[in-house]
Amino acid sequence: MLYSEMNKEQLAAEKEKVTALYGDFKKKGLNLTMARGIPAPEQLDLSINMLLHCLDGECKSREGIDCRSYGVLDGIAEAKEIFMDMLNVGSDEVIVGGNSSLQMMYDTIMRALQLGVLGSEKPWCRYEHVKFLCPSPGYDRHFAMCEALGIEMITVPYMQDGPDMDMVEKYVSEDEEIKGIWCVPMYSNPTGITYSDEVVRRFANLKPKAKDFRIFWDNAYCVHHLYDDKQDKLLNIIEECKKAGNPNMVFEFSSTSKISFPGGGLAVICASKENIDFIKKQMAFQTIGFDKLNQLRHAKYFSNFEGVEKHMKAHAAIIRPKFEVVEYMLEKELAPLGIGEWTNPKGGYFVSFNAPEGCAKRIVSLAKEAGVVMTNAGATYPYGKDPLDSNIRIAPTFPSVDDLRKAMELFCICVRLAYLEKNA
């Protein structure tokens, strides 16, 4: 029976029942976490031979570069080629960096603030205000970066096929202080949405008032499919920007953080050749070159992009059952009650759950009290403020299937209890 159809007496009786269920869970002494999108140990084991046997004493790249030494600012050719095929970019449109795409994003913003971007009249820091558009719910670390650097954030809502582009187009065409927008365009964090072709083309055809406006295209999950036969497709933003006459408007980022090792992968920035040449001139004062031994390890281990695709099927086999547990538990425990809405993504690392308005913080608090830690309610919005107190990011990848089943059982109880506390 739908909770919305229950009378006060029925709701009160239901609250008493659910409170008892919650009390039983608290006695179990659970200690589980779904706070972040972390690969499970079994996923990390998939790449262990990269560390153990990959180089076997051979430290020269295909072109004879000694990867133990300095140089090659933009990355060795064979490492570039993997990302060229993954992201459909040219060799002069990519820089292979260290292990963290987040660091590359941070460095890119810092250079823009202090030195400007290609075509800037002045560095961003010389403007009275610098603003970013933030499609939400979105990636909390993007928002935390802006907040730490004093960049004002403007929330843009998500639609079914991506951000509200009417709002995006209006904002960027009218306000010169808007210098960027955050995007996770494929299997987005946390909604799981992949931007439609129309949305990508509208991004490419933006007419920003700020000539130094940039799209920060965090394509973190471009190969993170859960199914062989059900996979989203994403238009190539760099190519679309070229077609639209805006070749320099986008910075695209990706990494192998959830392909090989989060703490020891490869990250890239991709952009037009003009942008890349400009960035390399700025980066030359920052580093002589990134870890080429790690680049060589990855190139030898995967051989090519087909090797990456094969590897990702092994990842999917591990995490797909976990997403199916989340979907099953939500459908079984909450759908018949009519409380909450959620996504069923085809890839990525998250499920986005929208609780009844005003309940998200209470749900997360109840779960924590009973031994399951989740991402803080509000974290998926700028400044940590969800205006509806509704969105919760579920990260199912790290726990075992058995632990996840327990965690989701508790989560559903917490959703029910939070609703009943508010309405009974």
CA distance 238 to 246: 9
User: Both tokens of residue 5?
Assistant: 């159809």
CA 11 to chain centre: 38
Give residue 52's pLDDT band: very low, low, confident or very high (50, 70, 90): confident
pLDDT 10s digits, 277-293: 999 999 999 999 999 99
Confirm or reject CATH 3.30.70.890 for domain 61-303, answering yes or no: no
Instruction: List Cα–Cα distances, 49 to 86, 259, 352, in angstroms.
Output: 22, 14, 34
Q: What is the mean pLDDT of residues 45-68?
A: 90
| pLDDT value, residue 237 | 98
Assign domain 3-43+310-423 to its CATH superfamily: Aspartate Aminotransferase, domain 1 (3.90.1150.10)
Greater confidence, 54 or 352? Answer: 352
- CB neighbours of 187 closer than 8 A, spacing ≥ 6? 193, 194, 221, 224, 232, 345, 346, 347, 348, 349
pLDDT 10s digits, 124-183: 999 999 999 999 999 999 999 999 999 999 999 999 999 999 999 999 999 999 999 999
| pLDDT value, residue 424 | 86
Residue 53, pLDDT > 90, answer no
Residue 386, pLDDT > 80, answer yes
- Domain map of the chain by residue range? 3-43+310-423, 61-303
Give residue 57's pLDDT band: very low, low, confident or very high (50, 70, 90): confident
Instruction: List Cα–Cα distances, 43 to 176, 268, 320, 351, 419, in angstroms.
Output: 44, 22, 12, 19, 36
Is the Cβ–Cβ distance between 163 and 135 less than 8 Å? yes
- CB neighbours of 57 closer than 8 A, spacing ≥ 6? none
Give residue 232's pLDDT band: very low, low, confident or very high (50, 70, 90): very high
Sign of CA dihedral 343, 344, 350, 355: positive
Give residue 221's pLDDT band: very low, low, confident or very high (50, 70, 90): very high
Give all strands (DSSP E) within 323-418, no chain letters. Answer: 341-342, 351-354, 372-374, 391-394
